[in-house]
Amino acid sequence: MRDPPATQCRRPGDTRGCPQIGTANQEADIDAVDEQLLALLQANGRASYAELARQVGLSAPAVHERVGKLESAGVITGYTAVVDPAAVGLGVTALIGVIDSDEVDDVGILEAMSALPHVEDCWRTAGTEGYVLKVRVTDIPALEDTINALNRIRGVARTRTTVVLSTKWEGRHGRAE
Amino acid sequence: MRDPPATQCRRPGDTRGCPQIGTANQEADIDAVDEQLLALLQANGRASYAELARQVGLSAPAVHERVGKLESAGVITGYTAVVDPAAVGLGVTALIGVIDSDEVDDVGILEAMSALPHVEDCWRTAGTEGYVLKVRVTDIPALEDTINALNRIRGVARTRTTVVLSTKWEGRHGRAE
DNA sequence: ACTGAAACCTCCGGTTG
DNA sequence: CAACCGGAGGTTTCAGT
C-alpha cells in the first residue's frame, strides 16, 4: 500500500519526531481547487478521494494527484484524529510562559521541554517570556509536577502559568461559526 | 443468550460514583486497544481500517466498529488535515490576551471574537486576562487589524499581544521521544 | 469478534487536450 | 502538464455464525 504521509518527517533539520512544524516552505502555488481541497480535508481528513472529487467537480484520480502534490510540497504535513482531551483523562489545560535566563543555550531548554510529554505546543515568543507552552494534564497535581519540572530545567528562570477554565474553540480554520 | 453488543457499562467499582450531569463526556471506558487506535489515528488520521487492524491485531470489521463507537461516544470528534500555515499565506502567529471589563456579558464578547476569522483558538482563562486567543494572519498589518478589531469589541478593556517568533512544535500527542 | 461477499475505492498504466 | 479513462487489486461494510 501507499506510504502513510503522517508518520514520518521528510524535512531535514527538524526536531525529532514532530510531524508538524511550519518551518520552511513559504511559497506554493495553490489554485482555487487546491484551496477547496484543503478546506474539505481540514473539515474531514478522512474524506475519500472519490467524495472529494464529487465536491470539487473533478475525477478521483485528478484529486488523488493534487492531494499527493500538496503532501509532497509540504502544504499538508499530515492527518490527525481530533480527540476530546477530557474523554481520555486530560481534564486540565494550561498555558505556561517560560522566562529563560540570559546566557544559556536554547537547544538545551528546548530538548528538556520536549521531554515533558504533556507539552502539546511550544512557541518561541517575543516579549518578556521566551517561550509559551500549552500543556494538557490529568489534574492539578499533575500540573504542579509539570511546572516543577519546567522550573528545574537549567536556563529556566521563572514560569508563569495561566490555567484554562474552558476551551471555547480550538483548531478552527477560517470559517467563523 | 448473547450479551448485548451495543451498550458498554461503566466500571462498576469506580471510586467516584457520581454520574455526570448530562452535558459533556467526562470519561468513556477505553481499553488498551482503543488507546492504541487513538494513538494510531492521531499519528495518521487517514490510516485505513485494514492497516489499523494489522497494527492492533484485530480484523478490519472489528476495528471499524470500535472506531465508530469512539466517534459516536465523542472521544474522536473529527479528523483533519494538518496544513502548514506558512504554505497557505498565514505567516504570522500571535497569542493575544484579552482583558475584559467587569460588567459586560461574556456571550457578546465571545460572539464578537468568534466573528474574527483568524482566531484559531480561544481559551477562557483564570488570571488577569479573561481570554487568551491564538491568531494566525498573513502579515503584521493584518495582525494590527485583528488587534484593533478586538479592542473595538464592547467589553474588551485591553489586549496584550505576544508575537510568535517560531513554532517549535504544535499539536503533539503524548509521546515525547 | 471473526468469516465471507458485494459494493466501493484506490491507484496503476495509458491517452487526450 | 493537467486531467480523464479503464481495470486490477485492496478496502469498506454489510450480512450471518
- Domains and their CATH numbers in chain B: 20-72 (1.10.10.10), 85-163 (3.30.70.920)
Closest-CA distance, A77 to chain B, in angstroms, reads 6
Contacting residues of A for B81, CB less than 8 Å apart: 38, 41-42, 45, 76, 78-79
Q: Quick one: which residue's CA is nearest to D2's C1'? A: A62
Report yes or no: A42 and B101 within 8 Å, Cβ to Cβ.
no
Convert A117-131 to b/e letters by CB count within 10 Å (16 or more is b).
bbbbbbbbbeeebbb
pLDDT per residue as tens digits for the range A44-73: 999 999 999 999 999 999 999 999 999 999
How many beta-carbon contacts under 8 Å exist across A and B? 263
**Long-range pairs for A12-18 at CB < 8 Å and ≥24 separation?**
A15/A110, A15/A114, A15/B168, A15/B169, A16/A114, A16/B177, A17/B175, A17/B177, A18/B169, A18/B172
Q: How far is CA B73 from CA A142, A167, B6, in A?
A: 26, 19, 12
Chain B segment 113-152 residues within 8 A of A by beta carbon are: 114-117, 119-127, 129, 131-132
Distance CA A171, CA B79 (A): 11
Contacting residues of B for A110, CB less than 8 Å apart: 168
Q: Stated in angstroms, how far is A62 CA from C17 C1'?
A: 15
Nearest residue of B to residue A87, measured between CA atoms: B27
Percent of chain B with pLDDT over 90: 76
Q: How far is CA A76 from CA A42, A45, A71, A156, in A?
A: 10, 11, 5, 34
Q: What's the pLDDT at B14?
A: 35
Asked if the Cβ of residue B61 lies within 7 A of any atom of strand D, the reply is: yes
Average per-residue pLDDT in chain A?
Answer: 86
Q: What's the pLDDT at B29?
A: 86
pLDDT per residue as tens digits for the range B93-144: 999 999 998 777 888 999 999 999 999 999 999 999 999 999 999 999 999 9
Distance CA A134, CA A94 (A): 6
- If we measure between CA atoms, which residue out of A135, A122, A81, A157 comes closest to residue B74? A81
* Residues 6+ away with beta carbon under 8 Å from A76: A5, A38, A41, A67, A70, B81, B82, B83, B84
Q: How far is CA A149 from CA A111, A156, B92, in A?
A: 13, 10, 30
HSE-up of B71 (CA within 13 Å, CB side)? 12
Q: Which ranges of A73-160 does DSSP label H, i.e. alpha helix?
A: 106-114, 140-152
User: Does B73 contact A at CB distance below 8 Å?
Assistant: yes
pLDDT exceeds cutoff 60 at B24: no
- Residue count of chain A: 177
